[in-house]
Structure formats: structure tokens, C-alpha cells
Amino acid sequence: MLRLGHRPDRDKRMTTHVCLTARALGATTVHIDSADRELEERVDKVVQQFGGDTRVVTGENPRRVVKETDLKVVHLTMYGENIALWDDDIWHDLRSGPGVLVVVGATKVPREFYELAHINAAVGNQPHSEVAALAIFLDRLTQGEPLGRDLKGKVTILPQERGKRVHFETDAVTEDEGSP
């Protein structure tokens, strides 16, 4: 996926949430336009602990990323065609194609990207959150598969009805935390 308009100071938490959401939902690479070494390290730390191979690359030229990709470019914007009303054909085409590059903005997205995108897709035509839009779009695209997978990280969360249970690979011990 590609994140546009990232401002390292102002968008620190939002962009971290974007990256972690993309990772949890199966993205392999997150391109960020502004250089932000700390963000790369922050997400990489989660990947080291919890597994998977999602890579965050910052300081990228977003036009080049979009122009040079072989993937289908889906730009998420509340001004686009509402995915809630899409024909199944569109989903089918996206799933059976070479893959998808999802584009989300932090600030106003330059007109050029509306033109470069194959699809301008609205996760509802209401203002809400790019994290929410990304999450719902990817969940629907992947039909929830990544959410159910085991990433085989050093840290594994063991689902519980109540409380917290976490498995740490290093000492092969499973611990119930004292208090959630």
C-alpha cells in the first residue's frame, strides 16, 4: 500500500496505525512518501516480535510508486464509488488480478492520484478515518483470511474468553498475565 501526505510529527500515531493495520490485514509493503526512520523502526519492531514480513519503506516518490507498479491501484477516498454498492465482479477482478496497491492520504490528495488510480473507492461516502477505510477495504478484499492466520512470531497471543495469554518463543513458556 501507499500512504500519501505523511507528516512525521503530526501524523505519527495515525500513520503507525495505518502501517499496523496494513500488516495485520496482509500487506507486504507499505510505501510512505516522507522519510521517517523512526516509523520504519517502530513497525519493524512489531514485525520482529509478532512475525510476518511486512516492510515499511519511507521517503518514496509516490508518483513513481503508482506509475511503476504492476498492481491494480485502488485509491480510497470518500468521493469515490461506494464499495458497499459494488458488483461482486469488481471484487472478483481485484482478487484474481496481480494484486492491489491501496492508496490512502493523510492530507488532501493531489488530483493527479485520482487520475492515476484504476479505481477511486469510497468506504461509504461519509467522512470518517483512513485507518477505518483501509481496514474495511482490506478485510473485504481478503475476505478476512489474514485476520485468522498465525504469523509465527516470537510473541503469539493465545485467544482467551477473559484476560490475556501470551506465548513467548524464546523461553517456550506460556504466561498468563496477572492483570489484563
Binding status of residue 129 toward a copy of itself by CB under 8 A: yes
Contact (CB, 8 A) for 116 and 66? yes
Please name the residue ranges forming H helices in 26-174: 37-50, 62-68, 88-96, 111-116, 130-141, 145-148
Report how many residues bind a copy of itself under the rule CB under 8 A.
61
- Count CB neighbours of 36 within 10 A: 21
Among 88, 159, 172, 173, binds a copy of itself (CB under 8 A): 159
Contact segment (CB under 8 A) with a copy of itself among 30-38, 61-69, 89-97, 112-120 equals 112-120
Q: Kindly state the smallest distance separating residue 57's Cβ from a copy of itself, in Å.
A: 19
When the beta carbons of 96 and 126 are compared against a copy of itself, the nearer one is 126
Among 87, 89, 170, 180, binds a copy of itself (CB under 8 A): 180
Contact partners, residue 109, CB within 8 Å, separation at least 6: 4, 5, 75, 77, 103
Q: Kindly state the smallest distance separating residue 152's Cβ from a copy of itself, in Å.
A: 12
User: What does the block give as the cell for 141?
Assistant: 478484499
Restricted to residues 49-88, the positions that interact with a copy of itself (CB under 8 A) are 50, 77-85
- Count CB neighbours of 77 within 10 A: 20
User: What does the block give as the cell for 148?
Assistant: 485468522
Among 38, 97, 144, 174, binds a copy of itself (CB under 8 A): 144
Restricted to residues 16-45, the positions that interact with a copy of itself (CB under 8 A) are 17-18, 20-21, 23-25
